[in-house]
Amino acid sequence: MTKGRVLVIGSNATRIEVQGGWRATGQYLNETVVPAMAIIEAGYDVVLATPDGTRPHLDPASDAVDHFGGDQDAYDRAKSFWAEHPAMTAVRTLRSVIDEGLDAYVGVFVPGGQAPVVDLMQDAETGKILRHFHDRAKPTALLCHGPMAVVSAMPKAAEFRAAMIAGDVEKARDLAKGWPYVGYRMTVFSASEEKVVEDQILQARMHFDMPSALTAAGGNVVTTDVDFAPNVIVDRELITGQNPRSDHPIAATFVAALDRSLVTA
């Protein structure tokens, strides 16, 4: 018997705005499958849903054994899980999940890759889902760039994002009023880690860094001094992981939170 259903919110974005144009982007393989596999192994069902109901596009930069600690077997298992497991192939729309009833879910997880910065950060249905889990103090986990999805829970998320792209931080702060995560401790992909991606992958500069955006929203953002060191922050129901190497730690922390919530339910 399953312990309950966990919603995984995926992104449909395939490109991201940068200074001077656009670059290809997507969701990260390890950040998606490592937590999903751990959740299923712990006895929960996983339901993957995206804004338009199609499978997330994987960032080619994530399709590498290096993101699995150089472990070829782990990489192969991850690839097989992504390609074949029904939890990853039977994708639903966020709207259908909402219409079915969010009370059917015991937790929610948002993986990273830069893609969530494009769509989930300003998606109204993502915002509705996150507010539901926040209001009921249900475990809410987000990894790497995934924490940017919490911006969607503010009343004017799209306007906030546009203000950050325009470099108008003061306007963004004003637009963030009513955000339910004000004062929460959280982490996200750091500015110095982003610079590595800008230099080595995008070969372009982003319009804003993630910690600055979440700080402008009202979050208490904590990142490591060492780039790509695992980091997981827990504050109330919110569980955030900083970077791809936080995949296993956030999975373990999230599963523990799900198990605790069953005991207290």
Mean pLDDT across 207-226: 98
Structural domains in the chain plus CATH codes:
5-264 (3.40.50.880)
Q: Whole-angstrom Cα distance, residue 118 to residue 92? A: 19
What φ, ψ does residue 141 adopt, rounded to 5°? Answer: -120, 140
Q: Whole-angstrom Cα distance, residue 162 to residue 160? A: 5
How many residues in the chain? 265
Mean pLDDT across 143-153: 98
Q: Whole-angstrom Cα distance, residue 151 to residue 173? A: 12
Q: Is-contact 95 125, C-beta < 8 A?
A: yes
Q: Which tens digit of pLDDT belongs to each residue from 10-28?
A: 999 999 999 999 999 999 9
Q: Is the dihedral of CA 51, 64, 247, 225 positive or negative?
A: negative
Amino acid 264: pLDDT = 81
Tokens linked to 251: 């999975």
Q: Which tens digit of pLDDT belongs to each residue from 25-61?
A: 999 999 999 999 999 999 999 999 999 999 999 999 9
Is residue 121 predicted with pLDDT exceeding 80? Answer: yes
Amino acid 203: pLDDT = 94
Q: Which tens digit of pLDDT belongs to each residue from 56-90?
A: 999 999 999 999 999 999 999 999 999 999 999 99
Q: Whole-angstrom Cα distance, residue 254 to residue 248? A: 10
